[in-house]
Every structure is written in C-alpha cells, then in structure tokens.
Amino acid sequence: MKKICLAFCLTVALLAVLSALYSCKSQSVADKTTQQKGKAKMKTKKELFGKLQDGRGIELYTLTNSTGLKVRLMTYGATLVSLEVPDQDGQFADITLGHDSIEGYITSSPYFGSIVGRYGNRIAKGQFTLNGIEYQLATNDGENHLHGGARGFDKVVWKAEPMQSEGTVSVKFSYLSKDGEEGYPGNLSVTVIYTLTDDNELKISYEAETDKPTPVNLTHHSYFILAGQGEGDILGHELMLNADKYTPVDEGLIPTGEMHEVKDTPMYFTTPTAIGSRISEVKGGYDHNYVINTSGKTMALAARLFDPKSGRVMEIHTTEPGIQFYSGNFLDGSITGKGGKVYYKHYGLCLETQHFPDSPNKPNFPSTILKPGEKYESLTIHKFYTH
C-alpha cells in the first residue's frame, strides 16, 4: 500500500511539473505573439497626395506607432501634413495647421509644416559677404530674404525613402540644392529624416554637405495648436522657453545683434506663462529668436507647450542654439485649411529650432557657414504626453 501511495504521489508531482512547464511555454509564446502584434501596429503607408501642374506626383507617407500616434509627410517641401496625438481622455486630434490637398500648399501656405532653407528665418536685405565675395539672395519679405527665398526648400520636391527599425518608423527626404539657387553659393546636398518612435517622440534630424562655403540654417515650420487644428487660438496655451535671453529686432524683424535679458519683460517665458497674458505689450505679437540655455551642441530642452483644455503637452529638445517663437500674427482668416477650418490670427504658433536670424551679417552670433569637407548636423525632438 505504501508503494502504491508513493507511486501516486510521484505521478501527481510529475504532472504538476509538466503542467508548470507547459504553462511557462504557453506564456512565452503568448508574450512573443503580443510583441509581434505590437510591432505590427507600427507601420508606414504610402499613397499619392496629388500632382503638380507639370504632372509630377507628390507622395504622402503615413507613419503610425503602436499607441496610435500618426504623422503624415509629403515630398513637396518635405512637409508634415498632419500630426494626430491623444488628449487626456485618449481622444486623438490633428494638432497642426495645413491643407487637405496639394493645391492648398501651392496657393496659400505660409510654410505650413515644411522644411525651410537653405536659411531658415531672415537675412537683412538678402545680402552677405563671404571670403571677400558679396552675395545677393532673393528678397521675398520686403527688402529682406526669408526662409530660403522665393523658391526655398518648402517649394521643391524631395526624394523620399521609408525606413523602419526596432521601435521606430521613418521617412528619409533628400534634396540637392544646386550652386546659385536663390543666390546661394555651392551645391548643397541635404538630408532630413523624420522618425516616429513608440515613446511618442517625433525626431527630425538634418544633415548637409557642400562643395563651396555657404550659409546653412535648416528648420521645421509646423504651426501647432494642441487643442486641435481650427479649434480656436493659442493664447490660452502655457509656454515655457528655456531661455534667459532673446535677440531684439528692428522694424523689419532683423536682429540688432544684441542679446537682451527676458527677465521683467513681456518676453519672459522661463516659467510656464499663458501666451495671451502679455502679447498686447509686444508690437505685432511674438516673432523673436530666443537664446536657449545650453552649453553647446548637446541636446537641451528648448520649450514646453501645454494646453490646459486638452491636457496635451509638447516638449522640444534640440542641438540648436536658438528657437524662434512665432505666435501666428499674420494669420488673418484668409486661409481655409483642413476640414474647412478657417485660420484666424493666433490660431497656431511656430517653435522653430535654429541658429540665429541674420547670422551671416552678425559676427558675434554663432556661425552658420558650412565649408567643404564639413558636415552640417542638427537634431530636434518633439515629445508628446498628457498632463
């Protein structure tokens, strides 16, 4: 009887061990399947967004991560067409201004979502001297040069290549700006990569090389409104800029060359401040370059934007020394954007990471001159979460 009991106990124990092993194996398979499903959610979609008058097709790429955050990018201007992020209740909304068709971007787009260059921001009278040679650029902002000229990088068709790696999906855009384009010297080879991560980050990395010395200052020009595009103005958004100084400007919005403290002025955003609280004290509204508190070309927090209504937060980190805060002053209701929404004054804002405006004419500003054999490199990260 004892032998029978012992055999029975051993059998029960063996069955328990086998059951546990099977359970672990099943759990491992289940975990692997879940991971595979998670990876499958991160995807890239390519389609036709429209055609230019010369018949060239404009490609549209949609990047989606595993949390549902979605970015749409097109080859015209390497432009971000839409960016859908969740609010505090998990409801998604497009937080950038823009158009539903390519025609809108061609006829009525103040740089919505585009890459601007060769020189983002302004150069006084479109003139600068480099190595003893005077250059005259296109003037498209009164007497000044703005965002690369009459046909800057926002108005050209870029080559696109989708890419994917562990936890990210990307689109690599490339363009060759030929010697003399808009008055700039040198053939400039440019690459911009938009990368969406599973951590709800949108990374924008820039690289450029030239065969002649030339000014280079690339940036991204989305108009953001965290409440959702067309849903009112940004005056109630709270903005923090990690900058103790800014570069004051003249009547033409050209920097004077000075750097002033923001403390005790309407330019102060070192602590979170409602954009509309003092905007009336700034002639024309905000359109100024802020000097980021950074020690060099390392990543630094540049800005944090918060919308109290939706709970959405956007943080911007960058290797650039400056950030242009533009409060959508020139939006005037003349543009009808996505979904038939009309864009009025202050219905979006720009936070453009950059070198300082008019640097080729301001020796005391960080240099923007790229030389042959050097590589221009810049990285900006937009991180999204809720508060």
Q: Let me know if residue 99 belongs to a domain.
A: yes
Alpha-carbon gap, residue 223 to 343, rounded angstroms: 11
Nearest to 253 by CA among 183, 161, 371, 357: 357
**Whole-number pLDDT of residue 295:** 79
**Whole-number pLDDT of residue 170:** 98
**Whole-number pLDDT of residue 41:** 79
Per-residue burial over 30-43, b if 16 or more Cβ lie within 10 Å, else e, is eeeeeeeeeeeebe
Residue type, 65: N
> Which CATH number goes with the domain that contains 94?
2.70.98.10
Q: Let me know if residue 76 belongs to a domain.
A: yes
Residue type, 90: G
**What residues contact residue 31 under an 8 Å CB cut-off, 6+ apart?**
none
**Whole-number pLDDT of residue 39:** 47
Catalytic residue among 317, 352, 355, 382: 352
**Whole-number pLDDT of residue 322:** 98
Intervals of the chain under pLDDT 50: 1-40
Q: Let me know if residue 239 belongs to a domain.
A: yes
Q: Tell me the whole-structure pTM to 2 decimals.
A: 0.89
Alpha-carbon gap, residue 386 to 367, rounded angstroms: 37
Greatest C-alpha distance within the chain = 108
Q: Let me know if residue 16 belongs to a domain.
A: no
Whether the Cβ atoms of residue 301 and residue 317 lie closer than 8 Å to each other: yes
**Whole-number pLDDT of residue 4:** 41
Alpha-carbon gap, residue 261 to 241, rounded angstroms: 13
Phi and psi torsions of 67, nearest 5° = -95, -5
Whether the Cβ atoms of residue 106 and residue 345 lie closer than 8 Å to each other: no
Q: Give the structural domain span for 270.
A: 43-386
**What residues contact residue 11 under an 8 Å CB cut-off, 6+ apart?**
none
**Whole-number pLDDT of residue 36:** 37
**What residues contact residue 33 under an 8 Å CB cut-off, 6+ apart?**
none
Which residue matches tokens 């009991």?
5
Nearest to 69 by CA among 51, 46, 87: 87
Whether the Cβ atoms of residue 189 and residue 153 lie closer than 8 Å to each other: no
Active site residue 288: no
Alpha-carbon gap, residue 205 to 220, rounded angstroms: 10
Q: Let me know if residue 24 belongs to a domain.
A: no
DSSP string, 149-178: STT-GGGSBPEEEEEEETTEEEEEEEEEE-
Which residue matches tokens 């032998």?
3
Active site residue 352: yes
Q: Let me know if residue 92 belongs to a domain.
A: yes
Kindly state the tokens that stand for 153.
């990088």
Q: Let me know if residue 36 belongs to a domain.
A: no
DSSP string, 275-309: GGGSGGGSTTS-EEEEE---SSSS-EEEEEEE-TT
Taken in order 115, 252, 369, 247, is the CA torsion positive or negative? Answer: negative
Residue type, 41: K
Question: Measured between alpha carbons, how far apart are the two ends of the chain, in Å?
Answer: 69
DSSP 3-state of 218: coil
Q: Let me know if residue 335 belongs to a domain.
A: yes
Neighbours of 203 (CB within 10 A): 17
Catalytic residue among 99, 147, 220, 221: 221
The total number of structural domains in the chain stands at: 1
